[in-house]
Amino acid sequence: MAKIDLDSLSIEELAALRDGAIEKLAEKVAARQAELEAELERLAQYGRPVKKAPAAAVPKTLKVEAATRDNAKLEAAAKAAREAA
């Protein structure tokens, strides 16, 4: 993976990088969770039924995405205020 010079990025570029990282992480968590659930189903045939734990990744992801949207709105408003001044 290529190194990124974070100091040289603008706030908008850093925010976009963060959003991309959050999205990619959510995809990987969902894929891994699906793999583990499939494995539990395969293993369940050998013993007693397995209780599934509720997925904690989705609500956290939704909260992070909501915060990201709020931050983007604040950044856009601040930028507009700076340009107007």
Instruction: Give the integer Cα–Cα distance in Å for 84 and 82.
Output: 5
Q: Taken in order 28, 19, 70, 5, is the CA torsion positive or negative?
A: positive
Residue 69 pLDDT class (50, 70, 90 cuts): confident
% of the chain residues with pLDDT over 70:
78
Neighbours of 17 (CB within 10 A): 13
pLDDT of residue 64: 66
The reply to whether the predicted model has a pTM over 0.75 is no
**Cα 3 to chain center, whole Å?**
21
At residue 85, does pLDDT exceed 70? no
Which one has a higher pLDDT value, 58 or 37? 37
Average pLDDT over residues 49-58: 64
pLDDT digit string (tens) for 11-51?
A: 999 999 999 999 999 999 999 999 999 999 898 888 876 57
